Amino acid sequence: MSSLAPALKDAAALIAAMGAATRDAAAVLAATPTATKAAALVAAAAAIRGSAAHIEAANAGDMAAARAAGLSRAMLDRLHLTPARIAAMADGVAAIAALPDPVGEVIARWQRPNGLDFERVRVPLGVIGIIFESRPNVTADAGALCLMAGNACILRGGSEAARSTRAIHAALVAGLAAAGLPEAAIQLVPTTDRTAVGAMLAAAGLIDVIIPRGGKGLVARVQAEARVPVLAHLDGINHVYIDKAADPAMAIDIVVNSKLRRTGVCGAMETLLIDRAAPALAAPVLRALLDAGCEVRVSPELIGLDARLVAADAADWDTEYLDAVAAATLVDGVDGAVAHIAAHGSHHTDAIVTDDAAAAAAFLARVDSAIVLHNASTQYADGGEFGFGGEIGIATGRLHARGPVALEGLTTFKTVVRGSGQVRPA
């Protein structure tokens, strides 16, 4: 695409030209056998390994520019590609090649009395637009998942990762070429001009779905502006509810892991709900969080349990900290937990800890979130942990894919009807 950029005057024309090429590639991919897609990914993984030095050098350029621009340590860490991370990226691409191909799967089949035979068959979504920020490895993950599910994609990475992204993209294109697939199947927007994002969001008919990968600012902008369907989550305001019938030791393990294993992931717990009927459970769990270095903001009933606790204000129940900070309050059993989550949750991931099967069943049925867990950490909200071989993101919308989006979430279906000359009576 690099030869195209100078010729095009504006972002809309650029995206239109890319979209047309990508759509043609999508038609080819939709009919491409599994083995060919897998071969392209295996070749891409080899190309990533073979060009590791080049990718590392490109990343060093990005890192130098980012340091000069004063980017935060967290952003620098997301941007940095070590040899181990490059190897893991190649392994990830090769692993996706080994996943079952969802395309062509018959997900339902039925007959009608008139002899018509119906099959619901998985087909690719088409053209996926991925808009991401500073993690250059999204290039490889997203490109590989889209390809394996038979989709073409248009990738638009952040300006701070531009050199790294281009180097990784070149390896993916080498994989496509090695398998005889159209190079336009994985395209990289050749500019990091922000107007290109706007053009992608408006490209209904050219792009079938947009998946933003990045911070809340990016996701909010995409959700507000997109004229193309979006698979995303804005917030992960996730809860762990400790029921009165919880095993105390399990409750501590799950709460500490849910909050602190990684605080910056969307599946991290943000609010702890404790059954008012089990006051004895509260102190040990809160102390475990405090001892592990977590700030805990609590409702007035809990404030006396430990001198390190601080008072929560109303905003805390609606805050995604993404940090070593948690809110905690008492609730009136499962009913109270369900009501609190309905009022303050973000339909992402919520867990109950209990040995009471009826309480668990009520919580799992009534909490309206993409992922609900019983006696397990919210940090399992992850496509890899679901067994999907990775994920392109987690969706909290109500339509189409919900929860981790991987190969299956990157497909839709059509209905194939087979007859023997049936015409419909008046």
Residue ranges that bind a second copy, judged by CB under 8 A: 27, 30-31, 110, 112, 116, 118, 123, 125-126, 208-209, 229, 231, 247, 250, 253-254, 256-258, 261-262, 342, 360, 364-366, 368-377, 379-380, 385-387, 397-400, 402-403, 412-424, 426
219 contacts 233 by C-beta, under 8 angstroms: yes
- Which residue type does 357 have? A
**Residue carrying structure tokens 């009534």:** 366
Among candidates 154, 157, 178, 160, which has minimal Cα distance to 36?
178
Q: How far is the CB of 37 from a second copy (least distance, A)?
A: 15
User: 70 vs 421, which CB is nearer to a second copy?
Assistant: 421
Q: How far is the CB of 50 from a second copy (least distance, A)?
A: 31
**Residue carrying structure tokens 């509810």:** 241
User: 198 vs 397, which CB is nearer to a second copy?
Assistant: 397
State the CB neighbour count (10 A cutoff) for residue 304. Answer: 10
Among candidates 215, 236, 201, which has minimal Cα distance to 382?
236
User: 301 vs 335, which CB is nearer to a second copy?
Assistant: 335
User: 274 vs 367, which CB is nearer to a second copy?
Assistant: 367
Q: How far is the CB of 327 from a second copy (least distance, A)?
A: 20
Q: How far is the CB of 407 from a second copy (least distance, A)?
A: 13
Q: How far is the CB of 238 from a second copy (least distance, A)?
A: 13
User: 65 vs 220, which CB is nearer to a second copy?
Assistant: 220
User: 53 vs 342, which CB is nearer to a second copy?
Assistant: 342
Q: How far is the CB of 400 from a second copy (least distance, A)?
A: 4
User: 39 vs 121, which CB is nearer to a second copy?
Assistant: 121
Among candidates 26, 13, 4, which has minimal Cα distance to 128?
26
Q: How far is the CB of 160 from a second copy (least distance, A)?
A: 27
Please give the backbone phi and psi of residue 58, each rounded to the nearest 5 degrees, phi first: -60, -45
- Which residue type does 54 have? H
User: 73 vs 424, which CB is nearer to a second copy?
Assistant: 424
User: 44 vs 211, which CB is nearer to a second copy?
Assistant: 211
Q: How far is the CB of 316 from a second copy (least distance, A)?
A: 21
User: 2 vs 420, which CB is nearer to a second copy?
Assistant: 420
374 contacts 362 by C-beta, under 8 angstroms: no
How far apart (Å, rounded) are the C-alpha atoms in residues 139 and 186?
A: 9
User: 68 vs 423, which CB is nearer to a second copy?
Assistant: 423
State the CB neighbour count (10 A cutoff) for residue 418. Answer: 11
Strand 393-395 to strand 403-405: parallel, antiparallel, or no bridges (unpaired)?
Answer: antiparallel
Sequence-distant (≥ 6) Cβ neighbours of residue 261 within 8 angstroms: 268, 377, 379
- Cα 64 to Cα 28, 79, 141, 163, 167, distances in angstroms: 40, 11, 24, 11, 16
- For 198, half-sphere exposure in the C-beta direction (CA atoms, 13 angstrom radius) is 7
User: What DSSP assignment string belongs to 181-207?
Assistant: --GGGEEE-S---THHHHHHHT-BTTB
Among candidates 48, 131, 83, which has minimal Cα distance to 392?
131
Q: How far is the CB of 159 from a second copy (least distance, A)?
A: 29
Q: How far is the CB of 379 from a second copy (least distance, A)?
A: 4
Assign residue 393 a region (left: φ > 0; alpha: ψ between -120 and 50; beta: otherwise): left
How far apart (Å, rounded) are the C-alpha atoms in residues 78 and 322?
A: 15
Q: How far is the CB of 366 from a second copy (least distance, A)?
A: 6
